[in-house]
Structure 1
Amino acid sequence: MKSFKLFIIVILSIFILDKIVFFCLLQVDKRVFVGEGVGKLNQFLKLKDTTEIIFFGNSRTNHHINPKMFGKSSYNMGVNGRKMAFSATLIQTLPKNKKQFVVLQLDPNNVFEKDYAGDDMDALLVKYHQNRIIRKKLIEMSRNNYFSSVMWSLDYNGLVLSLLRNFVKPKYNYKKYNGYDPIKNNKAQKAIFLKKLKRNGRKNKCEETYQASDINNTCLDEIVAFCKVNNKALIVFTSPVYKDKCKKDNTAMKQLMESKGIKYYDFTDFYAKNDNLDYWKDEEHLSKIGAEEFSVYLADFLKNDLK
């Protein structure tokens, strides 16, 4: 009997301690708006209801699009390593029935990734107990931790040190940050890039067929449906690459977007005739020079769509 009582006391103590830890971390979380792990997500959630143009996507959004060039209130919610499910979930947190422009950068190789399981959603686990929409999507995609329902502090697993660091010593003034992180290039980096180009010069082999995974299909349908009923103008585009070694996936991408009634623009070959390495960090990422030029062009190209 004593052993059972002791067991109950230990369980209750762990439960109470977990909630104390969670609410302490939550108070820190609420004050952090710097850093890619939590801060940028917090900033997005804070300003999403009042921003007119929001760019979503991965590192090729984050490093390629300067919202400043688009005039209206705009924010770049591109995050390194994220894919369709992450963006689709955040888009669905936008306010209902408010006119906004959703500009989503998608790469064909990600859309047609056969084994995609939505693992990029794990970055949203930190909001499991804070945002109803995010929690719902995590559960739907089976990305939630089973123990999180009881152990709330697990939401901050792996994030505590960065959270505290960005709380104590922020790297930048988030009030002046629009989500854009340009990549500066130098002679050493250009030399490294040139060596990689020489090693990777052979042509890539295209797949026989291209088909979006079930998850990507579902996410696209959810984005389209959400935007349609909530006064959001949806635009999807593909950002430039250094040299596109396969065109079949571009064609398949256009067909997929057309089948879903999505306005789509392919800028893969925007710099195809320009071999200036000052414009590039690597084969998939523009330097600040290239990104600024592309942003200016894109803002002008989309000016009618963004009215």
Structure 2
Amino acid sequence: MVSYVVDKVVYYGIRQMESSVYTGQSVGKFNQYLSIKDSLDFIVFGSSRANHHINPSLISENGYNMGMDGQKIAFSATLCKLLPKREQTILFHIDPENAVDDLYMAEDLSSLKSMYYKNKIVQKEMNKYKKLNPLQQIYWCISYNGILFGIIKNYLKPNYNYTTYNGYDPLQVNNSSNRNVLKLDKKEIQVGCKKKGYTLNPIYKAYLTDLKEFSKKNKKQLIFFTSPKLFDNCKEDNLFLRKEMKKMNLIYKDFSDVLLSSTSDLSNWKDATHLSKKGAENFTNYVARTVFGPNVK
């Protein structure tokens, strides 16, 4: 009983401190997103291939990039469901190889554990896929396991001015990294499709359906996309995903090899799957022109 009470006192103490943190990836970006989401016109969701590749300021004067490294559809879709009922444009990144991954079990929802006791939608999603540590139901402080140091650090000394931050984190490169970007194992570059025949992961399919319904009910323009890759020797999963998205009447733009998929200018690349700042600016401008037209702002 004593430990239970102490846990709650400590939890609410951390939560009060955390609520004033608006910088850093631990909770700061979440908090900034939650504070401005209702007023945004344009939002980007997805993994690092969204976070580092789309500068929302080049598409909208009132946009935000909520991409986060290492996250997949469950994480991003849950944050998308927090948006208000008003007209907004959503650019949602999805990778074909992840969409057909039979082993995906929405494990990225665990990254939202700090929001479990603060938001009913997050709580519902985590419960649905059983991604809550059972001990967290008793000891709420577990919500901050692994991120407490980052919270304290950004509470004491914010590392950037969040009022001018739009969520976009470009990747800087130097001459050395430009030269080394192609130093990959030849066998790795030449690897083709790892399997024959594809099925859409059921969790991906469920979230695609959820996002479609959510967008329809809440006045959203929903556009899915895939970022460029320097090497992609398996196109069967791309083709499969395009067909599936078409069946579901979802807008999907596969940019995996339509832009910058060339070794002619390595300054566009940080590595084989991530663009440099220069490449990201070029790619964002391409998306702005081809998807949203010349008068996007």
- Sequence identity (%): 37
- Assess, with a 3 A threshold, how the Cα gap between structure 1 residues 67 and 197 changes in structure 2: closer, same or farther: farther
SS of the equivalent of 1:55 reads: strand
1:274-307 deviations in Å (ceiling 9; x for gaps): 5311110111000011001111111122225979
Instruction: Say whether the 8 Å CA contact 1:57–1:105 is kept in structure 2.
Output: yes
Secondary structure of residue in 1 paired with 2:28: helix
TM-superposed deviation, 1:226: 0.7
Following superposition of structure 1 onto structure 2, how do residues 1-307 of structure 1 map, counting pairs within 5 Å?
A: 12-96=1-85, 98-196=86-184, 198=186, 200-269=188-257, 270-273=259-262, 275-304=264-293
Letter aligned with residue 15 of structure 1: Y
Cα distance in structure 2, aligned partners of 1:203 and 1:115: 20
Which moves more between the two structures, 263-272 or 128-137?
Answer: 263-272
RMSD between superposed Cα atoms in Å: 1.6
Larger radius of gyration: 1
1:228 shift after superposition: 0.9
Q: 1:198: Cα distance to partner?
A: 4.7
Separation (CA, whole Å) in 2 of partners of 1:253 and 1:26? 41
Aligned-partner Cα distance in 2 for 1:168–1:273: 44
Number of paired residues? 295
Amino acid at match of 2:123: R
TM-score by length of 2: 0.95
Distance in 2 (alpha carbons) for counterparts of 1:211 and 1:89: 23
Stretch moving more, 143-152 or 31-40:
143-152
**Amino acid paired to 2:129:** M
Contact 1:279 1:287 in 2 (8 A): yes
Residue 212 of structure 1 and its aligned partner are, at CA, apart by 1.4
Q: Which runs of 5+ in 2 are unaligned?
A: none
Partner residue in 2 for 1:9:
none
Native 8 Å contact 2:44 2:50 kept in 1: yes
Q: Secondary structure at the match of 1:302?
A: helix
Contact 1:104 1:237 in 2 (8 A): yes
Q: Distance in 2 between matches of 1:65 and 1:197?
A: 29
Following superposition, the deviation at residue 149 of structure 1 comes to 2.4
* Worse-matched range after superposition: 23-32 or 294-303: 294-303
Counterpart amino acid of 2:165?
Y
Query: Once the 2 structures are TM-superposed, how far is the Cα of residue 47 of structure 1 from its aligned partner?
Result: 0.9
Superposed CA deviations along residues 68-120 of structure 1, whole A, max 9, x for unmatched, are 10133100000000001001111111112x11111101110111111001111
TM-score normalised by length of structure 1: 0.92
- Unmatched 5+ stretches in structure 1: 1-11
| Separation of aligned partners in 2, 1:198 and 1:192 | 14
Q: Tell me the secondary structure at the aligned position of residue 225 of structure 2.
A: strand
For 1:110-152, what per-residue CA distance to the aligned partner results, in whole angstroms no more than 9, with x for missing partners? 1111100111111100001101110111101100122222221
- Report SS of the residue matched to 1:110: helix
Question: Residue 54 of structure 1: CA displacement?
Answer: 0.4
